[in-house]
Amino acid sequence: MNDHDTLLALALLGTARGTLPTPGPGPLGQAAAHVTRPAAEGTLLARAALHALTHAAGRTPDPASDLPPVPAPAETLPEAPGRATRHLPLVMGTPHLSEWLTLCAQAGWRVPPARLPELLDHASNDSHLRPLLTPVLGERGRWLARFNPDWAFTPPPPGDDAWDTATEAGREALWRSVRERDPHAARALLQQHLPTERAGSRKRLLAALLDTLTPDDHALEPLLDTLTTARSEDVRTLARTALHRLSGSAQNARHAARFAALVSLDKPSLLGRLTKQTPSTLTPPTGPDEHATRDGLPDPAGKEKRSATALLEHLLEHTHPDALLTALNIPPATLVNIARQHDHLNALADNAVHTRHAPLATALLHDLPTHPFLLHIGPPEPLAAAQKQALHDRDPERLLALLGPQPGPWPSDLSAALLSILRDTIGDAHYAAAWGYRWAQLAELAATHAHPHTPHPDPLPADATDYAHRTMTELLGTLELRKQMWNDFGKGRG
Amino acid sequence: MALAPDASSAQAGRKLATPARWQNLNAPGTSLWGQCQGSGKDPYLTGVDRTGPAFKCSCPSRKFPCKHALALMLLHTTHAGDFGQAAPPDTLQTWLDGRAERAANETPKTDGDAPTPGSGAGPDPAAQAKRRAARDRKVTDGLDALQTFLQDLIRDGLAHAPARPYSDWDTQAARLVDAQAPGAARLVRQIPEHLHDPAALLAHLSRLHLLTEAWPRRDTLSAEQQADLRTALGFPVDSAAVTGAGGIRARWQVMGQSVTEEDNLLTRRTWLVSGTDTALLLDFSAWGRPFPPALPPGQTVQAEVCSAPGTYPQRALLRGEAPVTTASPHGEGLTLDALLDRHGAALALNPWLERTAHLTGPLHVVPGNPWHAQDGTGRLPLTGSERTLYTLLALSGGQPVTVYAEWDGTVLAPLSVLHGGTLHPFLTAVDA
């Protein structure tokens, strides 16, 4: 025990139960021997002060044990210039951050290193930002993300063990990044790993596949087919959904065959011929269907009649429209006819929306002329007309439905028309509820989606309320900020 | 944004910082002014004197600077091109003229002699001495009682200390507050933090004991040592005497800021460096009141910095204002070993010194639990918010970096990092 330890031992025990140790022969001991006080407690504390100060003043660095991290690889993208990054403090934590990130990626730039932790934190809390941040992270960002488990959504650095060492989120990120660069390699990755992944990871990967599905993914059909009998219901559903969207899949072919057996078109009556309506009748299946479970068909245990119409509804919703049209060799209008006659228009509409089938969407618009999603898939004219009509009617509910799904930036004339209607309707409102929440929501939507170069509407009348002034100033201010942002990124693209 | 009195002001300022919300943006000379549409019909008239910086705004906010002034300054850094040169309206011009006049009047006075004690309006020296003697008596009594308390602890044995009720420490601290020795009270309040570590506890108590031994012998100490002792006991700095004695007028680099909180009192430390001189400015904020405006971290100011007396002069006060000026070159960083040497030398002069700050590096940042700073001489634990540490790592990219950091004897707290030839300050605790 050194001098300090013997002092500490006595201090713990108490001077009432021991005697002061004699200091050792070293220089510190010699110095301590000169420190004496009338009471033993005083001597102990004074000598302890000498030791504590000597220790603090004489401290040397601890021996290095860990190797410093391997430096980040050299960057391949240029850093976003100051004129672009100056907007970051203003958009951080706002809905405009995603626009900034998109513009940055389009310009082919990366974010400056000092901003990386803040952006990675935002993206770890908001999954929508992740795919936008990934392309602008640069080498430094990918390198940095390795040091924080919260940032595991960024693709891990490539390497033989990248997949094995990644978390579930990391695997999804890795797959998405491979998918962007090389869809074929991404398919190979799925074929290699999906059969052995856990359900959580399978769900993530299948959802990522659905986000990016193309007709080339037909190669994955056998794999997806095996997953339709997986233990997890979510995995089964996701696999069936993917097979549904691949128009030539065997699942679609089986559904089409069921559809052809179920539906027979009758000879139209005179009235039918005049109105171009072909009546159809349903023949419920009689024999067992060996693929019913793996294809997710509704339970046939219900009443016979209900079973036929339930089967029809399922087929209309979950069979690729091309397969349905080919099965009976009918035009989209006839398919819509069948759905209408059996009251399943909505199921067919959902199908058209999910498969983004433009001809079917167009045919459905006769029956569902206000369906906002069909309008977005169908030809542009009916959508523009519907929007024009809603603007004319000043119907905020309808405008919200029609504009909500439309990705920004909206066309300039549409943006301008909306801004002037917002200006016209807000005039005497003193608060959001008095204006109508839908209008307030539209104003928020316009702030993020309107074209940033939209000309400003006329100023509010002098007698407009403070709320009106504040709301319009805020909206136009936001558009101005976005315009500046666009200009600053635009120059970089030149 | 470092000037923001609190996080919500900073957020509000950011929101207002778009040119479209401003009807007028101008930057004539060293001032900024603009009109911002608020909730009322008439826009607020906001002015900033960048030499201070000082702020004036017609808004009803009691925060200082208000969000409009913050937004105006933020806009000037992000959108300098949108600012015109128009002269401000009369009300603002009068204010600016008044400030310029006062600044002009102050300069000759600072170069002249210090205010003479006892002259005309000055305080009565006899009354001052009486008050001082009364306080000294109170402190003597308080420290006597503290010494008995400490010796009792040692007699009973520190092994029993953790079993004491919390009120024992609180009562002792409260007595020291009554005895007008708040510095000693603070150290007593820190005792429970060390109860789990006997060696640290003994070291802490022994330093407290040193205070109680030094006070009765203060007459044998030099003036500087007496100043150290009074500072450790929590005597306020006599600002008039410090600034009256004059200081070093130079370009000072604002190396960094940190904020710590203790018992509802926020303390902001601002470290300034000019050549081989280091100065520490302290600002306090109690009960949620905002700090006075801060010097801009990372920038250089032209200022007269007056050191408070002490064996290792560190605490300082600004005399007059500190306008931002162009940057001066940075010095060389120390190795970790040299940093500890400097700290040890300072501690040899002032045993109660809590922390020193140094430019140190190049060093490697090693993430882990805890994080470390590492160079050829060894390593020291790093501390700071997660954002600060990761930003440091991001800027380093795994290469060695040079940081300006506080060393408190246990952990190294980075305040700024040299990156690409400029100083990148980290957010202080209040902003983070």
Q: For residue B338, what is the nearest residue in chain A, using CA coordinates?
A: A60
The residue type of B106 is E
CB contact under 8 A, B206 and A64: no
pLDDT at B185: 94
Q: For residue B156, what is the nearest residue in chain A, using CA coordinates?
A: A14
Which pLDDT band, with edges at 50, 70 and 90, does B119 fall under? very low
CB contact under 8 A, A53 and B351: yes
b/e A134-166 (16+ beta carbons within 10 angstroms → b): bbbbbbbbbbbbbbbeebbbbbbeeeeeebeeb
CB contact under 8 A, B409 and A48: no
CB contact under 8 A, B399 and A56: no
Q: Half-sphere exposure of A250 toward its Cβ, with a 13 Å CA cutoff?
A: 13
pLDDT at A285: 83
Work out the number of other CB atoms within 10 angstroms of the CB of residue A207.
14
For tokens 């995603």, the residue is A98
CB contact under 8 A, B19 and A61: no
Segment B149-175, tens digit of pLDDT: 999 999 999 999 999 998 999 999 999
Mean pLDDT of B222-235: 93
Q: For residue A15, what is the nearest residue in chain B, using CA coordinates?
A: B155
A10, A12, A115: best to mutate for the B interface, most B CBs within 10 A: A12
B154 chain-A contacts, CB cut-off 8 A: 11, 14-15, 41, 44-45
CB contact under 8 A, A16 and B203: no
Nearest CA distance, B191 vs chain A (angstrom): 15
Radius of gyration of chain A (CA): 35
Mean pLDDT of chain B: 85
A71 chain-B contacts, CB cut-off 8 A: 397-399
Segment B79-90, tens digit of pLDDT: 777 788 788 888
A59 chain-B contacts, CB cut-off 8 A: 340, 344, 409
Q: For residue B425, what is the nearest residue in chain A, using CA coordinates?
A: A114
B412 chain-A contacts, CB cut-off 8 A: none
Q: For residue B151, what is the nearest residue in chain A, using CA coordinates?
A: A41
pLDDT at A1: 66
List Cβ<8 Å contacts ≥24 apart for B27-34: B27/B76, B27/B80, B27/B83, B27/B84, B27/B85, B28/B85, B28/B86, B28/B87, B28/B88, B30/B323, B31/B88, B31/B92, B31/B96, B32/B72, B32/B73, B32/B76, B32/B83, B33/B72, B33/B88, B33/B89, B33/B92, B34/B72, B34/B75
CA proximity to A480, closest of B58, B75, B67, B86? B75
Mean pLDDT of B95-107: 70
B160 chain-A contacts, CB cut-off 8 A: 14
Pairing of strands B277-286, B44-49: unpaired
Taking CA A295 as the corner, what is the angle to CA A289 and CA A298, rounded to the nearest 5 degrees?
75
Cα separation, A436 vs A440, whole angstroms: 7
B229, B390, B403: best to mutate for the A interface, most A CBs within 10 A: B390
The two three-digit tokens of residue B82, written as one number: 């949108």
Cα separation, A248 vs A243, whole angstroms: 9
Q: How far apart are the first and last CA of chain A?
A: 74
pLDDT at B239 over 90: no
**Using CB atoms, which residue from A14, A49, A72 is nearest to B206?**
A49
pLDDT at B323: 84
**Using CB atoms, which residue from B206, B397, B419 is nearest to A71?**
B397
Mind giving me the DSSP string for B157-169?
A: -GGGGGGS-HHHH
pLDDT at A491: 41
pLDDT at A210: 92
CB contact under 8 A, B351 and A89: no
Cα separation, B388 vs B391, whole angstroms: 5
Work out the number of other CB atoms within 10 angstroms of the CB of residue A248.
12
Task: Mention every residue, 6+ apart, whose C-beta is less than 8 A from residue A331.
Answer: A325, A363
CB contact under 8 A, A65 and B379: yes
Cα separation, A485 vs A480, whole angstroms: 9
Segment B42-88, tens digit of pLDDT: 788 888 887 667 788 888 777 778 888 888 887 877 777 778 878 88
Under DSSP, the state recorded for B84 is B
Q: How deeply is A485 buried, as exposed, middle or buried, from its count of CB atoms within 10 A (0-12, 13-18, 19+)?
A: buried
B213 chain-A contacts, CB cut-off 8 A: 42, 46
Helix or strand holding residue B9 (H, E): helix B7-16
pLDDT at B124: 77
Mean pLDDT of B28-40: 78
In the sheet that holds B54-57, the strands lie side by side as B22-26, B31-36, B44-49, B54-57
Nearest CA distance, A155 vs chain B (angstrom): 17
Nearest CA distance, A351 vs chain B (angstrom): 43
**Using CB atoms, which residue from A15, A121, A147 is nearest to B154?**
A15
CB contact under 8 A, A69 and B78: no
A43 chain-B contacts, CB cut-off 8 A: none
Helix or strand holding residue B75 (H, E): helix B67-78
B40 chain-A contacts, CB cut-off 8 A: 466
Which pLDDT band, with edges at 50, 70 and 90, does B107 fall under? very low
**Using CB atoms, which residue from A53, A70, A117 is nearest to B391?**
A117
pLDDT at B287: 76
CA proximity to A325, closest of A292, A298, A351? A351
**Using CB atoms, which residue from A58, A90, A118 is nearest to B17?**
A90
Helix or strand holding residue B279 (H, E): strand B277-286
B73, B204, B206, B337: best to mutate for the A interface, most A CBs within 10 A: B206
Segment B365-407, tens digit of pLDDT: 999 889 999 999 999 999 999 999 999 999 999 999 999 999 9
**Using CB atoms, which residue from A52, A60, A141 is nearest to B340?**
A60
The two three-digit tokens of residue B169, written as one number: 């420490």
pLDDT at B431 over 60: no
The two three-digit tokens of residue A338, written as one number: 């069948």
Q: Any idea which of A242-256, B137-151, B215-229, B289-303 has the lowest mean pLDDT? A: B289-303
pLDDT at B41 over 70: no
Mind giving me the DSSP string for B182-237?
A: HHHHHHHHTGGGGTT-HHHHHHHHHHHHHHHHHGGGGGGS-HHHHHHHHHHHTPPP
b/e A272-304 (16+ beta carbons within 10 angstroms → b): eeeeebbebebebbeeeeeebebbbbeebeeee
pLDDT at B179 over 60: yes
CA proximity to B414, closest of B306, B333, B295, B301? B333
**Using CB atoms, which residue from B198, B381, B394 is nearest to A8?**
B198
Cα separation, A41 vs A122, whole angstroms: 56
CB contact under 8 A, A42 and B151: yes
Segment B399-427, tens digit of pLDDT: 999 999 999 999 999 999 998 888 899 87
What is each CA distance from B411 to B186, B357, B407, B420, in whole angstroms? 20, 12, 6, 26
A419 chain-B contacts, CB cut-off 8 A: none
Pairing of strands B54-57, B248-262: unpaired
Where along chain A do its domains lie?
3-57, 82-245, 265-376, 379-488
pLDDT at B69: 84
pLDDT tens string, chain A, 494 residues long: the values are 688 899 999 999 999 898 888 888 888 999 999 999 999 999 999 999 999 999 999 999 999 877 889 999 999 999 999 999 999 988 988 889 999 999 999 999 999 999 999 999 999 888 889 889 989 999 999 999 989 988 877 766 666 677 888 888 888 888 888 887 788 888 988 998 999 899 999 999 999 999 889 989 999 999 999 999 989 999 999 999 999 999 999 999 999 999 999 998 887 777 777 777 778 888 888 878 888 888 888 876 666 556 888 899 999 999 999 999 999 999 999 999 999 999 999 999 999 999 999 999 999 988 888 888 888 888 888 888 889 999 999 999 899 988 988 887 898 889 999 999 999 998 788 888 889 889 999 999 999 999 999 999 998 888 888 899 989 999 999 999 999 999 999 843 33
Nearest CA distance, A47 vs chain B (angstrom): 8
Are B398 and A147 in contact by the 8 Å Cβ rule? The answer is no
